[in-house]
Amino acid sequence: MSEEYQGTRFVTAFQERRPPSHPFVPVLCHWCRVFHERGFAPPYPGGSSGNLSFRVAADAFIITGTAIGLKDNLAADALVEVVDCDFAAGVVTVCGQRQPSSEAMLHALLYRHFPTVGAVFHGHHALITSQAERFGLPVSRVALPYGSIALAEAALTLARRGDFFVLRDHGFVATGVDMAACGALCLDWLRKIQNIHH
Ligand SMILES: [Zn+2]
């Protein structure tokens, strides 16, 4: 993550300026707290520190807002519902009070291509990123700019090889049928990799 964070690389169109409401919002906030506690989302100055989402309809999902940091006390107003994503035009349409995560397009692309995926978690963890190849995890060939379509497309390619993969020199992505499956994957891989290192 050598590249400096400078906000989203797409245009956000606000359909409605209200925080998302969904019965699973507290579940997403719970996983944000877990990511915070496990060090999956180390903050860096002004920067994105990971982003989590779950699907609410065919192409719609609720995701953490940009540059909020994954803290232990997030509520609905830290989240945004992405209702449409126009990849060609670079426009993300949302309901919410803030911009969606800078990796919203990566999440959108995975939901679009994998109908059974119900949750996507992305975090940063130096040990997982550096040890991924040793553990046989899919890793992208080259480092790509955060928030770019190229990074989203690399994630799509990796997602065809497994439900837990690594973006080179950047972080990890987990996909699952729901948030519980996604979160368990992240915790299992961290445990596995830490055990070998002890
Ligand atoms: Zn990231």
For residue 119, what are the domain limits?
A: 11-197
- CATH number where 115 lies: 3.40.225.10
Please state, in angstroms and rounded to a whole number, the distance separating the CA atoms of residues 41 and 46: 13
pTM of the model: 0.94
- Per-residue pLDDT at 192 exceeds 50: yes
How far is ligand 1, taken at its centre, from the CA of residue 156, in Å? Answer: 15
Q: What integer pLDDT is reported at residue 197 of this predicted model?
A: 66
Mean pLDDT of the chain: 91
- Per-residue pLDDT at 2 exceeds 80: no
Output phi, psi for 105, to 5 deg: -70, -35
Tell me, yes or no, whether 1 lies in a domain. Answer: no
How far is ligand 1, taken at its centre, from the CA of residue 38, in Å? Answer: 16
Of 1 and 137, the one with more pLDDT: 137
How far is ligand 1, taken at its centre, from the CA of residue 133, in Å? Answer: 18
How far is ligand 1, taken at its centre, from the CA of residue 151, in Å? Answer: 10
Tell me, yes or no, whether 36 lies in a domain. Answer: yes
Tell me, yes or no, whether 2 lies in a domain. Answer: no
Q: pLDDT of 104-126, one tens digit each?
A: 999 999 999 999 999 999 999 99
How far is ligand 1, taken at its centre, from the CA of residue 197, in Å? Answer: 24
Contact 101, 66 (CB under 8 A): yes
How far is ligand 1, taken at its centre, from the CA of residue 140, in Å? Answer: 14
How far is ligand 1, taken at its centre, from the CA of residue 144, in Å? Answer: 11
- Per-residue pLDDT at 46 exceeds 70: no
How far is ligand 1, taken at its centre, from the CA of residue 114, in Å? Answer: 20
Tell me, yes or no, whether 4 lies in a domain. Answer: no
How far is ligand 1, taken at its centre, from the CA of residue 146, in Å? Answer: 6
Please state, in angstroms and rounded to a whole number, the distance separating the CA atoms of residues 34 and 141: 29
- Per-residue pLDDT at 152 exceeds 90: yes
Please state, in angstroms and rounded to a whole number, the distance separating the CA atoms of residues 31 and 14: 26
Tell me, yes or no, whether 6 lies in a domain. Answer: no
Q: Is 48 helix (H, G, I), strand (E, B) or coil?
A: coil
Tell me, yes or no, whether 54 lies in a domain. Answer: yes
Q: What integer pLDDT is reported at residue 10 of this predicted model?
A: 93
For ligand 1, a single-atom ion, the residues with CB < 5 A are 171
Confidence band of 8 (pLDDT split at 50, 70, 90):
confident
Specify the number of domains making up the chain. 1
How far is ligand 1, taken at its centre, from the CA of residue 198, in Å? Answer: 26
